[in-house]
Amino acid sequence: MKTLFPAESLKKALVVAAALALLSSCIHKKYETPITKDTQQPDKVLFDKSMHDIEHGRYEVARIELNTLMNTYESSEYLAKAKLAIADSWFREGGANGMAQAEAEYKDFELFYPTMPEASEAQHKICMIHYKQMDKPDRDPLEAIRAETECRALLTQYPNSKYAPATAQILRNVQEVLGEHEFTVGDFYFHRGANPAAANRLSYVADQYPLFSQADDALFEAGQSYLNMGPRFRQNAAADFARIVREYPLSDRADAAKKALQDLEIPLPEVDRAAAEREKYDIENYRKPSMLSESMGFMRRGPDVSAAAKAGQPAMENVLFPIPASVPKANNGETTANGAVGGTTDVNGSIVSDPTKLDQSKDARSLPAVTGKAAAANAQAVPSNHQADLEKARQQAKKKAKKQRKKKAAPQEQQQTAPAAQNSQPEAAGSLQAHPQAQ
């Protein structure tokens, strides 16, 4: 007995078939740069077949066909396209091994064909390889650093490429992640009271990544750290506060920075119009992540770059990490502003053959002693990253010494009171003998 499918079941089957066809088309995308020249030449036939295999996910077969083309037809016009297609096949295959192979193939393509328009595409793909493998800011920044290097290389070598604008935005995203990585360390130092380390790290963040979304917070905390280090670093703090007012006038820290400058009796600087326009553009084009994206962020490996700048020139060079302001500067016998005269820091070593040379040379101990302002400047304490811990240790040492003094004083008091008690006993006995009736 035959059973016929109802109309609803047939419709569902058609819908499922259409969905599967759509899914398969999404999985295997069409190759971006096929050669559509209609010819029956053998190298062209091999190239077209390899493109068809790449589009359908048969990457190993496609690479065998492309290598056959390159080894068999050495004068083919498809050599460059074939070499680039091999790299693209590894890029599409993905995985750690696939990405490493793709990067090597793209670099080979740039080496053999540096003047072709596809060379900038190869460099863009190298940048994307490391960009896709970036971790969150609180983890290893190696892939972010490599992505920054490769994106800078594209903007430097191919500034007029069609990939330059997209790569510039990728570079801004990468520097947002690197800036947050450094800011997290400086913010930790700041809340721990390690003022020299916090000021040094936070100032570096603002200098290296001026487009970082929290650069104003970094400058403000750096200024506060300099103020906590004492009056000698007043100018350093004023410079950081003034930079907030000048380069980040629309930030939440601008008013606090102005008040800090007024307390320091420093005139307010003029606002940089270009920086203000860039900041305004970023505020207008900011897109807050959805609630679903924020709630599922812990499952995502890559970082959140929604707060990255959308305009402005990204940093193209690395700034040298500065020496902390608390480290004394070398003074080769020059007179400083406070009148201190420093010594030399140049030390030379050599073998002395004359045994009397030491007696003939000037002895450093015979130099005049440093007195006055110079001595006061040298005696001034240098700020430490562990100032709070040192102060706590000093207080504990004082309490311990006070307890020890009390313990030492207690036996002495007992020894002084003991003779007095012994002297009082004979007196009491004499009084009893003098008045026997009292017994």
Residue 355 or 84, more confident: 84
Which residue range forms the structural domain that includes residue 40?
Answer: 26-116
User: Is residue 288 over pLDDT 70?
Assistant: yes
Domain for residue 96, yes or no? yes
Return the pLDDT at 9. Answer: 60
- Rounded to whole angstroms, how far apart are CA atoms 418 and 412? 10
Domain for residue 396, yes or no? no
Domain for residue 436, yes or no? no
User: Quick one: pLDDT band at residue 1, thresholds 50, 70, 90?
Assistant: very low
How many CA atoms, within 13 angstroms, populate the side-chain half-sphere of residue 217? Answer: 11
- Of 72-76, 203-207, 251-255, 342-346, the one with minimum mean pLDDT is 342-346
User: Is residue 287 over pLDDT 80?
Assistant: yes
- Rounded to whole angstroms, how far apart are CA atoms 101 and 63? 12
Task: Give the residue from 168, 173, 203, 170 showing the smallest Cα distance to 185.
Answer: 203
Return the pLDDT at 2. Answer: 43
Whole-number average pLDDT of the chain: 81
Domain for residue 21, yes or no? no
Return the pLDDT at 175. Answer: 96
Domain for residue 99, yes or no? yes
- Rounded to whole angstroms, how far apart are CA atoms 23 and 95? 21
Q: How many domains does the chain have?
A: 1
What pLDDT digit, counting tens, does each position of 409-435 carry?
Answer: 776 666 666 555 555 555 444 544 444
- From the CA atom positions of the chain, what is the Rg in Å? 38
Domain for residue 75, yes or no? yes
User: Is residue 210 over pLDDT 80?
Assistant: yes
- CA distance readout (Å), 254 to 17, 216, 418: 60, 8, 73
User: Quick one: pLDDT band at residue 368, thresholds 50, 70, 90?
Assistant: low
Return the pLDDT at 393. Answer: 77
- Rounded to whole angstroms, how far apart are CA atoms 254 and 84? 51
Token pair of 211, please? Answer: 């487009």
- The arithmetic mean of pLDDT across residues 376-401, rounded, is 73
**Which residues are 253's β-sheet partners?**
none
The total of other beta-carbon atoms located within 10 Å of residue 219's CB is 27
- Of 72-76, 96-100, 156-160, 364-368, the one with minimum mean pLDDT is 364-368
332: alpha, beta or left? (left if phi > 0; alpha if psi -120 to 50): beta
User: Quick one: pLDDT band at residue 436, thresholds 50, 70, 90?
Assistant: very low
User: Is residue 294 over pLDDT 80?
Assistant: no
335 backbone dihedrals φ, ψ, rounded to 5°: -90, 125
Return the pLDDT at 173. Answer: 96
In order, the DSSP letters of 54-105 are HHTT-HHHHHHHHHHHHHH-TT-TTHHHHHHHHHHHHHHH-HHHHHHHHHHH
- Rounded to whole angstroms, how far apart are CA atoms 360 and 106? 68
**What is the crossing angle of helices 254-263 and 215-228, to 10°?**
20
Domain for residue 192, yes or no? no
What pLDDT digit, counting tens, does each position of 325-363 carry?
Answer: 778 766 555 555 555 555 555 556 667 677 676 666 655
The percent of residues in the chain predicted with pLDDT above 70, rounded, is: 72
Return the pLDDT at 374. Answer: 54
Measured torsion, CA atoms of residues 233, 234, 240, 245, in degrees rounded to the nearest 10 = 180
